[in-house]
Amino acid sequence: MAEPVATPTVELSGVRKDYVAGPVVTPVLHGVDLEVGAGEFTALMGPSGSGKSTLLNLIGLLDRPTAGRVRVAGLDTAALDDDAMARTRGRTIGFVFQFHHLLPAFTALENVMIPMMAARGRPAPDMAECGEHLLRQVGLGAVLHRRVTQLSGGQQQRVAIARALAMAPRLVLADEPTGNLDTHAADEVFALLREFNRRAGITFLIVTHDPRLADRCDRIVELVDGRIVADRPNPRSGA
């Protein structure tokens, strides 16, 4: 669908989220307004339990708000049924998590090809080419055919980044992508995310607890108790 260039990649207005389990209602987000423009590289910070992952799940079209509006790439999720939401998610959004969730029995290349095979229903030669290209871009050209269990933590997270980019998403949501890595590996992973942002114009929203890494983002949004309490451009990012 064609859309005006000015359409923000993410638009949340008045978003509330309650988790409901039987009689127990846990309100988590209390009216979040947030706009993320195309090509932005934004950090989402906040204490544990403040609702960061809940917010990412809503933006990632993995869940629906209790109230308020979620628009991603100009589409209002309220107008999408579950199938349409899943299709939009697959075409538009890549995910990187703290724990890589790679399939341990498979090679780096196979892990990157899995989303492409799932989308097209069967393997095709261009998928391997595309997967190899992505893995070379994340510096793993030498270990394409190695099982992911034989790779270091930093290498595994780089495979996860390549996998997140396999469907050429316009938005990548990363939930503490360096939370499980040492400083050096965290720096490398962060630099890679930034490179894809600069080179391909991909929009990134990255949850991090590390102020040093947040300081390398163009914008820092802070969530406390389900409310955005700060949202500021970061002149030091050097973007």
Interface with ligand ADP includes 107 (CB under 6 A)?
A: no
Distances (CA, A) of 28 to 4, 51, 119: 33, 6, 33
Selection from ligand ADP, Mg ion, none that 54 binds (CB < 5 to 8 A by kind) is ligand ADP
Rounded CA-CA distance 234/165 in Å is 26
Closest contact distance (angstroms) between CB of 36 and ligand ADP is 18
Distances (CA, A) of 169 to 41, 125, 137, 157, 196: 14, 21, 16, 18, 11
Rounded CA-CA distance 148/188 in Å is 18
Interface with ligand ADP includes 74 (CB under 6 A)?
A: no
Interface with Mg ion includes 53 (CB under 5 A)?
A: yes
Nearer Cβ to ligand ADP (111/208): 208
One of 9, 42, 50, 178 touching ligand ADP (CB under 6 A): 50
Interface with ligand ADP includes 230 (CB under 6 A)?
A: no
How many residues bind to Mg ion according to rule CB under 5 A? 2
How many residues bind to ligand ADP according to rule CB under 6 A? 11
Q: Look at residues 188, 187, 195, 219 and name the one whose alpha carbon lies nearest to residue 206.
A: 219
Interface with ligand ADP includes 23 (CB under 6 A)?
A: no
One of 3, 4, 6, 48 touching ligand ADP (CB under 6 A): 48
Q: What are the DSSP E strand ranges found in the chain?
A: 10-21, 24-36, 41-45, 67-72, 75-76, 93-97, 171-175, 203-207, 219-224, 227-233
What residues line the site for Mg ion (CB under 5 A)?
52-53
Residues near ligand ADP, by CB under 6 A: 19, 26, 28, 46, 48-54
